[in-house]
Amino acid sequence: MPKTSPTPHVALVTGANQGIGAATARELAARGAAVLCAYLDPRTADAADGAPTGEDVAEEIRRAGGRADAYAADLSDPTAPAALFDHAEARLGPVDILVNNASGWVQDTFTPEPADRFGRPLRPVSPETFRQQFAVDALAPALLIGELARRHRARGADWGRVIGLTSGAELGFPGEVSYGAAKAAQTHYTLSAAAELAALGITANVVHPPVTDTGWVTDEVRRFVEESPTLFHVASPEQVARTIAHLASDEAELITGNVITLR
């Protein structure tokens, strides 16, 4: 029989205000987990007026009968991971599912070209692009995994799940070089966690989504996918979220230390 948690699961999902993060928060809640929707306050992120917040997603979950709360945190602040766990424990209970979804996405490159093939502007690699990308996509996930492990051990828990999100390919991520490099770092942190935390009953996996329509996919992008020999689908956030939720389930107890590529 799979080992199950004696109490309802509590999930911490970063970047939970939109896209894959929001879909994952909803899916985990629909499967019975309480969810803390962590998000970057749009007032501090140059977001458009009316951009969704984690509270919007949490309220949607609550209206559907689930348990959820939201917490605005800038993951480039190294104190944010501990604050997120403190808030989750106070409002929902100890976290045993961690989904590292948030990204400090910047589109930087080594090429002198001003835009990519889809017309999106490119920035040269700089200390600023490196710091922004690695702080959110590599350092924050590492600190969040560390918080989960420390608190898990302290309370004598024996069930936990870590799921990271990655991107890139064999040749890195041309056109988004710091994004690809930071995601590669997060992948290594997560796979190391799978080995180091196995004795604590924690599994750790990384999901590599296909091209996912979170609002940026154009007809040109769809044609690119159709013509690609390795990209098979343009996915919805909900499709990716179902895979993440499965990895967070009791049934996935033997799935650990993997990069799961969705196509």
Cα–Cα distance, 177 to 125 (Å, whole number): 8
Tell me how far apart the alpha carbons of residues 25 and 28 are, in angstroms, rounded to a whole number. Answer: 5
What is the C-alpha to C-alpha distance for residues 123 and 193, in angstroms, rounded to an integer? 33
CB 10 within 8 A of CB 97: yes
Instruction: Centre a 10 Å sphere on the Cβ of residue 210 and count the other Cβ atoms it contains.
Output: 17
Catalytic residue among 39, 71, 179, 189: 179
CB 47 within 8 A of CB 128: no
The amino acid at 170: E
Q: Which residues contact 241 (CB under 8 A, 6 or more apart)?
A: 20, 23, 24, 26, 27
Three-state DSSP state, 45: coil
Beta bridge pairs of residue 34: 10
Cα–Cα distance for residue pair 103/98, rounded to 1 Å: 15
Phi/psi of residue 41, nearest 5 degrees:
-55, 120
Asked about 179 being catalytic, the answer comes back as yes
Bridging pattern class, strands 211-212 and 68-72: unpaired
Catalytic residue numbers?
179
